[in-house]
């Protein structure tokens, strides 16, 4: 199936069309390559600063949230500090310790806010002044990102609200991107995130973690944290919108954080499986785009360009996780990814086994995007008509979602119905906010029109 047809699932159920879009760390590299003139050099510097700020933001937010216990105020202060850095650093150059610079500026913003709002919040300026000096900012940086994920997934919030808040505040995704992942309108997601912040604001220091809580936090909040990492990776692997197919910085960060989680919980099969799934999916990154960034569908990829080290590690981790049974969604998805990874030729793909796994996954985690993936696997085993029947049945659950039209187009093309395939490719291109996906779908429709005229 088209790789973009799995929606929020970076699972390899694709028979054709686009790859699932995880992140793109190549932005900074492309900026560097473009630095051939003064203007290009300026663009490169700004791109490098933006990349650095994206890495530092969760670390700074973690320090301030842990120190002051006010997530909303800390987030606002970090945003102001990042804006100041984005304005000043390209011209003045990077400070010796960018992290300490951001923390110091953000702390001042928070202190100013507390002083201005002291009557309502009933906080003492002396407490703020004491806390500002509490930590030596030149000390080696401590990565608080994963801890901050745990803190954001607060038990006072529903799982869906906690995941959305964490993705917005720490994961670096926009409200629009999160809404697409959850298959709901952006306005609904914005309201959900706002309600989450208001709820946490009513609690007494919700972002502190006493030792007793630290011992149980992973057990109680693991599922939400893994879901956050999963959505982060998926958005990085196949960006839901914009000019680039991938956002490698985002997928790389998701993999890094999942590795940290795996070190903390090496015997947890779902954590192990999630890391395996990411590695097996990311291994194809270099083969997914052409010289101009154009999308290359799975059947047309040069599999010699897949990252063999990542594939080997991913298969090893998936095998270890599956030994505990196929009882979790990440283990099932890692199994599917491993089947694709082990196949040297597209025509040798074990679609019978993949169909069984998607059927099991759908029972375990009912979701229209999983059903759409099962539709493609069904078509590969039982023919396009059988797959189309499933896709048509869930179309109403995914209104205006380009992935439904993309799958229908692919299956009609398999069935030899060119006019209907062209109609659905065109509709999918109209609805997708991703430029590489749109270009691919338009090109697909154009090729079918041309082949049709040649046959006349």
Query: Residue 406 corresponds to which tokens in the numbers above?
Result: 């993309």
Q: Is residue 329 part of a domain?
A: no
Query: Residue 389 corresponds to which tokens in the numbers above?
Result: 């029947």
The pLDDT score that the predictor gives to residue 19 is 37
CATH number at residue 412: 1.25.40
Q: What is the mean pLDDT of the chain?
A: 82
Rounded CA Rg of the chain: 23
Where residue 280 falls among pLDDT bands split at 50, 70, 90?
very high
Q: Is the pLDDT of residue 96 over 80?
A: yes
More confident residue, 145 or 399: 399
The pLDDT score that the predictor gives to residue 6 is 35
Q: Is residue 427 part of a domain?
A: yes
Q: Is residue 156 part of a domain?
A: no
Contact 404, 189 (CB under 8 A): no
The pLDDT score that the predictor gives to residue 209 is 64
**Alpha-carbon 106 to chain mean position:** 27
The pLDDT score that the predictor gives to residue 105 is 92
Contact 72, 197 (CB under 8 A): yes
With H, G, I as helix, E, B as strand and everything else as coil, classify residue 22: coil
More confident residue, 128 or 455: 455
Contact 246, 234 (CB under 8 A): no
Contact 218, 264 (CB under 8 A): yes
Q: Is residue 54 part of a domain?
A: no
**Mean pLDDT lowest among 205-219, 221-235, 385-399:** 205-219
More confident residue, 45 or 390: 390
Q: Is 80 exposed, middle or buried (0-12, 13-18, 19+ CB in 10 A)?
A: middle
The pLDDT score that the predictor gives to residue 143 is 60
More confident residue, 123 or 379: 379
Please state the rounded mean pLDDT for residues 367-393.
Answer: 97
Give CA–CA dist 436/351, Å, rounded.
27
pLDDT tens sequence across 122-151? 544 444 444 444 444 444 445 667 777 887
Which residues are within 8 A (CB) of 239 and not within 5 positions of it... i.e. 6 or more apart? 21, 23, 24, 245, 246, 247, 434
The pLDDT score that the predictor gives to residue 8 is 39
Please state the rounded mean pLDDT for residues 432-453.
Answer: 93
Give CA–CA dist 444/442, Å, rounded.
5
Please state the rounded mean pLDDT for residues 191-199.
Answer: 89
More confident residue, 437 or 120: 437
Q: Is residue 380 part of a domain?
A: yes
Give CA–CA dist 114/105, Å, rounded.
14
The pLDDT score that the predictor gives to residue 275 is 98
The count of structural domains within the chain is 1
Q: DSSP H helical segments within 95-238, as ranges? A: 98-116, 118-121, 125-132, 145-152, 159-169, 175-182, 186-201, 211-237
pLDDT tens sequence across 293-338? 999 999 899 999 999 999 999 999 999 999 999 999 999 999 999 9
Q: Quick one: which of 81, 79, 73, 20 has its CA closest to 297?
A: 20
Give CA–CA dist 258/243, Å, rounded.
27
Q: Is the pLDDT of residue 10 over 60?
A: no
pLDDT tens sequence across 72-85? 788 888 889 988 99
Domain with 430, as residue range(s), is 366-456
The pLDDT score that the predictor gives to residue 207 is 66
Contact 10, 277 (CB under 8 A): yes
Work out the angle at residue 236's Cα, subtended by the Cα atoms of residues 232 and 237, and round it to the nearest 5 degrees: 115
The pLDDT score that the predictor gives to residue 451 is 86
Phi, psi of 437 (to 5 degrees): -65, -45
Give CA–CA dist 273/281, Å, rounded.
12
Give CA–CA dist 434/239, Å, rounded.
7
294-309 burial, b if ≥16 CB within 10 A, otherwise e?
ebbbbeebeeeebbee
Q: Is residue 392 part of a domain?
A: yes
Q: Is residue 370 part of a domain?
A: yes
Where residue 218 falls among pLDDT bands split at 50, 70, 90?
confident
Calculate the alpha carbon distances from 260 to 9, 95, 145, 265, 289 in Å. Answer: 22, 28, 10, 9, 29
Q: Quick one: which of 281, 272, 276 has its CA closest to 237?
A: 281
Give CA–CA dist 109/386, Å, rounded.
60
Q: Is residue 308 part of a domain?
A: no
Where residue 202 falls among pLDDT bands split at 50, 70, 90?
confident
The pLDDT score that the predictor gives to residue 144 is 67
More confident residue, 149 or 191: 191
With H, G, I as helix, E, B as strand and everything else as coil, classify residue 21: strand
The pLDDT score that the predictor gives to residue 57 is 82
The pLDDT score that the predictor gives to residue 12 is 34
- Tokens 């999983």 appear where? 370
Please state the rounded mean pLDDT for residues 275-298.
Answer: 96
Q: Give percent of the chain with pLDDT exceeding 70.
A: 79
Give CA–CA dist 232/253, Å, rounded.
8
DSSP code per residue over 405-446: HHHHHHHHHHTT-HHHHHHHHHHHHHH--BHHHHHHHHHHHH
Q: Quick one: which of 187, 181, 160 has its CA closest to 401?
A: 181
């Amino acid at each position: 199936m088209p790789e973009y047809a799995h929606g929020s699932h970076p699972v390899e159920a694709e028979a054709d069309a686009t790859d699932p879009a995880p992140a793109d760390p190549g932005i900074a590299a492309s900026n560097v390559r473009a630095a051939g003139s003064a203007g290009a050099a300026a663009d490169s510097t700004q791109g490098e600063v933006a990349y650095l700020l994206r890495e530092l933001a969760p670390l700074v937010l973690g320090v301030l949230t842990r120190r002051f216990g006010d997530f909303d105020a800390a987030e606002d202060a970090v945003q102001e500090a990042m804006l100041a850095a984005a304005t000043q650093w390209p011209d003045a150059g990077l400070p010796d310790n960018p992290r300490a610079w951001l923390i110091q500026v953000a702390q001042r913003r928070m202190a100013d806010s507390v002083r201005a709002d002291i009557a309502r919040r009933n906080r003492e300026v002396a407490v703020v002044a004491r806390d500002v000096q509490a930590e030596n900012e030149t000390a080696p940086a401590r990565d608080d990102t994963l801890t901050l994920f745990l803190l954001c997934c607060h038990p006072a919030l529903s799982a869906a609200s906690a995941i959305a808040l964490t993705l917005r505040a720490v994961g670096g995704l926009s409200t629009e991107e999160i809404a697409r992942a959850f298959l709901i309108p952006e306005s609904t997601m914005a309201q959900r995130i706002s309600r989450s912040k208001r709820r946490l604001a009513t609690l007494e220091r919700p972002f502190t973690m006493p030792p007793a809580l630290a011992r149980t936090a992973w057990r109680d909040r693991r599922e939400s944290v893994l879901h956050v990492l999963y959505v982060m990776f998926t958005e990085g692997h196949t960006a839901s919108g914009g000019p680039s197919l991938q956002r490698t910085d985002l997928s790389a960060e998701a993999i890094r954080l999942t590795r940290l989680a795996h070190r903390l919980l090496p015997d947890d099969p779902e954590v192990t499986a999630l890391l395996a799934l990411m590695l097996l999916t990311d291994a194809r990154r270099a083969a997914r785009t052409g010289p101009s960034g154009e999308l290359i569908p799975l059947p047309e990829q040069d599999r010699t360009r897949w990252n063999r080290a990542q594939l080997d590690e991913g298969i090893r981790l998936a095998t270890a996780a599956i030994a505990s049974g196929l009882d979790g969604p990440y283990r099932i998805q890692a199994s599917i990814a491993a089947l694709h990874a082990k196949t040297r030729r597209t025509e040798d793909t074990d679609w019978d086994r993949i169909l069984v796994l998607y059927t099991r996954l759908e029972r375990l985690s009912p979701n229209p995007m999983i059903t759409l993936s099962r539709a493609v696997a069904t078509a590969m085993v039982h023919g396009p008509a059988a797959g189309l029947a499933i896709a048509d049945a869930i179309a109403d659950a995914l209104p205006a979602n380009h992935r439904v039209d993309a799958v229908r187009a692919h299956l009609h093309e398999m069935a030899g119905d060119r006019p209907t395939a062209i109609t659905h490719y065109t509709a999918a291109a109209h609805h997708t906010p991703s430029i590489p996906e749109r270009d691919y779908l338009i090109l697909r429709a154009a090729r079918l029109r041309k082949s049709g005229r040649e046959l006349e």
